[in-house]
Amino acid sequence: MVKAVVGANWGDEGKGKITDMMADQADVVVRFQGGANAGHTIVNKYGKFALHTLPSGVFHQNITNIIGNGVALNIPVLIGELKAVTDQNVPTPNLLISDRCQIVMPYHILFDQYEEERLGGKSFGSTKSGIAPFYSDKYAKIGFQVNELFDEELLKEKVERVLVTKNILLKELYHKPEIDPTELLETLHEWRDMVKPYVADTALFLEKANKEGKTILLEGQLGTMKDPDHGIYPMVTSSSTLAAYGAIGAGIAPYEIKQIVVVNKAYSSAVGAGAFTSEIFGEEADELRRRGGDGGEYGATTGRPRRMGWYDCVASKYGCRLQGATDVAFTVLDVLGYLEEIPVCVGYEINGEVTKDFPVTHLLEKAKPVYETLPGWNCDIRGIKKYEDLPENCRKYIEFIEKEIGYPITMVSNGPAREDIIYRESALSK
């Protein structure tokens, strides 16, 4: 059986914890898109980890962890991350890398940095990890697949051919030093040796595992709002963040995905630029940011303070719909225990009219939040294991949001640890 764990909103929803928890019942965990430009924070018996490329199943010795063909693979970052995990006494994970996976080249990171500098105040808020230039090259058909590292003649010819255009751009557009093809080739030889033990035909491996009745977990990065087609374009990432893309980015048939768990925060947060209707500012935002997440709301990759906002029913309903949610995992609910009252965005006012449907970007930028205020529960809910033991106002908050978004909230996270999870029966599941 194939399951997917994806984000409903802007990313940073708590997917790492949910994936880590669901991995207890999985045999294979697959990263299917994105690169090292975002991260998943996981807290377990080994400590606290921010994973950027490694799948969240690496803490389970019975699991095969796969970097799928849809991933933007930064080889030194991956190998460094693998070492950082094992240095904290985690047993060496079982890891496979798709031979069709494409590589983030050193110049992708340079071009990302140089373009943000060139754009100045009109920049996209990139993490400068090389992701946009990587995907641009992938679809321009001048990217490098992992398997090409093992064909010396092909590699040498391709490096020289691709660097012709790259060096013209470096010299004429960015006024930066050109890249030496010999030096780049040496770097790629080093990277080849780093990944050699892990390279495999992972799509074939997954087909075999599925036929054997193994449980395969697809792990997404970021969330619906960052999808290049259905998100807040152009302030999006460069690969599809939707569960549907899991079939492509892992190399499996789309009809094999039977469960889609959409992770959804009990409030809103975002890293980077772009429309964010329920955003809050000042002391109100600072307090929520300080209390939020696990040790504060700061980017797992960038360390940047996240933009904060109240729960957005319009964006979340849209996010769940595009992901095809069968289940919603409602995270960091415990964070809101300090509030006497909790605003919830239930609609957008655009040009004097209120809508509950998520609009295209140019209208979204005009949207003003329409709030409904709910009573808080004003206490700590960590440690509670049964849904019925949650404070009444806490349960009302969950049930109000479930009704607004129209998708079943079957998991409630009330703390950072794997065991801090409450399972609930939803009437919408029946």
| Tokens of residue 169, six digits | 């751009």
Average pLDDT value for the chain: 93
| Among 366, 273, 367, 362, CA closest to 314 | 367
What residues act catalytically? 12, 40
Per the DSSP assignment, residues forming a β-bridge with 200 are: 98
Q: Tokens 């255009």 map to which residue?
A: 165
Residues 6 or more apart whose Cβ sits within 8 Å of residue 386 = 422
Say if residue 126's pLDDT is above 80: no
Predicted confidence at residue 211, as pLDDT, reads 97
Residues 6 or more apart whose Cβ sits within 8 Å of residue 390 = 377, 381, 384, 398, 412, 414, 422
Say if residue 300's pLDDT is above 70: no
Say if residue 295's pLDDT is above 80: no
Angstrom distance (rounded) from CA 408 to CA 329? 9
- The rounded percent of the chain whose pLDDT value lies above 70 is 96
Average pLDDT value for residue range 156-178: 94
Angstrom distance (rounded) from CA 320 to CA 91? 35
Predicted confidence at residue 246, as pLDDT, reads 97
Predicted confidence at residue 51, as pLDDT, reads 86
Band of residue 363 on the pLDDT scale cut at 50, 70, 90 = very high
- Residue 70 is classified by DSSP as T
Predicted confidence at residue 426, as pLDDT, reads 83
Contact 320, 405 (CB under 8 A): yes
Band of residue 302 on the pLDDT scale cut at 50, 70, 90 = low
Say if residue 175's pLDDT is above 70: yes
Phi-psi region of 94 (alpha: psi -120 to 50; beta: other; left: phi over 0): beta
Band of residue 234 on the pLDDT scale cut at 50, 70, 90 = very high
| Tokens of residue 100, six digits | 């069709």
Rg (CA), the chain: 22
Band of residue 192 on the pLDDT scale cut at 50, 70, 90 = very high
Q: How many residues are listed for the chain in this entry?
A: 430
Say if residue 387's pLDDT is above 90: yes
- The rounded percent of the chain whose pLDDT value lies above 90 is 78
Average pLDDT value for residue range 353-367: 97
Helices 313-323 and 392-405: angle between axes, nearest 10 degrees: 60
Say if residue 232's pLDDT is above 70: yes
Distance (Å) of CA 430 to CA 2, 191, 322, 413: 21, 51, 21, 22
pLDDT tens digits for range 415-430: 988 889 999 988 786 5
pLDDT tens digits for range 197-230: 999 999 999 999 999 999 999 999 899 999 999 9
| Tokens of residue 206, six digits | 């997954």
